[in-house]
Amino acid sequence: MSVSPAVVIGAGLVGASVGCALSKAGHRVHLEDRNASHAQVAAGIGAGTTAPADPDEVVLVVVAVPPAALAGVIIDALTRFGQATVTDVGSVKAGVLNALWDSGGDVTRYVGSHPMAGSQFSGPLTARADLFTDRTWVITPHRKSSASATSTVGDLVAVCGAHAVIMDVDVHDSAVARVSHLPHLMSVLMAGHLNEVPTDQLQLAGQGLRDVTRIAGSDPGLWEQILGANSAAVLPELRAVQRQLDTLIAAIESDGTTGARSHLERGVAGTRRIPGKHGAAPVQYRQLVVEIPDAPGSLSRLFADVAEAGVNVEDLSIQHDPDRQIGYLALAVAPDQAEVLITRMATAGWAIGDADPSGDRPS
């Protein structure tokens, strides 16, 4: 993989983690940061060296600075490292690319990228070589990118253990507006409204409120930069939600429930479209049912046997068949655990089967 010697500019969490991943794979990494102590910390945890690189030797430059500084640092890097492929890890791509085109620099050596990884921490001390393992890392070539530059960024992604996804710059910016920037603003609107709620009423807050508002606690300075860079893509998404909110309010005003129902069902459908963690396909649980015998204590024995099977039960409920005067325990389990549970329960004497034998399920 032709990715070194490499220069990482910006030794925060992401930059230092790139340095650690490259160094761990045996590549030489030179670290730069406007704040010298950040580069020193990153070097101290194995992200590379603070010794300057020979500009003519550098193969790859990874720019990992805050959004507002990206374009200037990339333009400078294209000039300083005349042979190097330059990429960045910023979360918005179009504005940076526009600035580069206007700069008159050698944009053929620039290919943007965006690793979908991070943590609640910032700074080099929390960097990890495995931060990108199995994560999606978007690569956004543009019409003047050279094939070799795109290939070099692909090598970087591979060395870091991430999955490369090639995307058009504008498609990328739309996608992050939808799956990252809009959710952030919805969280911000909800959290902001809490300023209107009397303190004693906030005692009733539960996990749902905490989940919805968690990301609203993030650094406003960083998010101001992100939203500023991506306002063109964020606005149509905000307006679409604005229209939905207007119809939801009108529906509740007019009849109280029926109108809200379609929004609630649309929300459930939306949550099911989110892929599993690390880009895996959404998990479809297999639905099983166990017949509950009409005998004293049979339900507690049934529950004990399910627990003893050691299978992770994702959901369960009791169902009743009024025609047959019989009860069922319905269980949802991961497809790869279903056979284990079926075998164990059948061996223990229970009548167990699929909830809907005619439905699609893994064989």
One residue of 54, 204, 349, 358 binding its own copies per CB under 8 A? 204
Look at residue 114 and give its three-state secondary structure.
strand
Identify which range of 56-64, 103-111, 263-271, 350-358 contacts its own copies by CB under 8 A: 263-271
* 58 vs 116 by CB, closer to its own copies: 116
Bridge partner residues of 62 (DSSP): 8, 87
Angle, alpha carbons 178-182-184 (nearest 5°): 130
Residues 88-107 that bind its own copies (CB under 8 A): none
Print the binding letters for residues 54-73 with its own copies: x by CB under 8 A, - otherwise. Answer: --------------------
Check residue 179 for interaction with its own copies (CB under 8 A).
yes
Look at residue 356 and give its three-state secondary structure.
coil
* 152 vs 187 by CB, closer to its own copies: 187
**What does each C-alpha distance from 148 to 3, 108, 145, 221, 317 come to in angstroms?**
11, 9, 8, 36, 56
One residue of 128, 178, 344, 361 binding its own copies per CB under 8 A? 178
Check residue 339 for interaction with its own copies (CB under 8 A).
no
Q: 49 and 29 in contact (C-beta within 8 Å)?
A: yes
CB under 8 Å, gap of 24 or more: what pairs does 148-154 form? 148/85, 149/85, 149/108, 149/109, 149/110, 149/111, 150/111, 152/2, 152/3, 152/59, 152/60, 152/85, 152/111, 153/60, 153/85, 153/87, 153/111, 153/113
Torsion of CA 83, 75, 127, 49, to 10 degrees: 50
Residues 133-152 that bind its own copies (CB under 8 A): 136, 138
Check residue 118 for interaction with its own copies (CB under 8 A).
yes
Identify which range of 98-106, 153-161, 267-275, 351-359 contacts its own copies by CB under 8 A: 267-275
- Written as six digits, the tokens of 10 are 């910006």
Nearest to 132 by CA among 153, 156, 167, 168: 156
Check residue 7 for interaction with its own copies (CB under 8 A).
no
Q: 248 and 260 in contact (C-beta within 8 Å)?
A: yes
Residue whose structure tokens are 């939600």: 241
Task: Give least dist CB 56 to its own copies, A.
Answer: 28
Identify which range of 98-106, 116-124, 139-147, 343-351 contacts its own copies by CB under 8 A: 116-124
* 102 vs 219 by CB, closer to its own copies: 219
* 212 vs 334 by CB, closer to its own copies: 212
* 80 vs 184 by CB, closer to its own copies: 184
Give the Cα separation of 267 and 45 in Å (integer).
Answer: 44
* 83 vs 122 by CB, closer to its own copies: 122
One residue of 54, 272, 312, 363 binding its own copies per CB under 8 A? 272
One residue of 26, 52, 273, 363 binding its own copies per CB under 8 A? 273
Angle, alpha carbons 131-38-116 (nearest 5°): 25
Check residue 196 for interaction with its own copies (CB under 8 A).
yes
Q: 106 and 83 in contact (C-beta within 8 Å)?
A: no
Residue 81: CB atoms within 10 Å: 23
Residues 221-260 that bind its own copies (CB under 8 A): 223-225, 227-228, 231, 234-235, 237-242, 244-246, 248-249, 252-253, 256-258, 260
Task: Give least dist CB 165 to its own copies, A.
Answer: 6
Determine the size of the site formed for its own copies (CB under 8 A): 118
Check residue 363 for interaction with its own copies (CB under 8 A).
no
Identify which range of 18-26, 72-80, 141-149, 196-204 contacts its own copies by CB under 8 A: 196-204
Identify which range of 31-39, 75-83, 105-113, 338-346 contacts its own copies by CB under 8 A: 31-39
Exposure letters 215-235 (e unless 16+ CB within 10 A, then b) = bbeeeeeebebbbebbeebbe
Check residue 52 for interaction with its own copies (CB under 8 A).
no
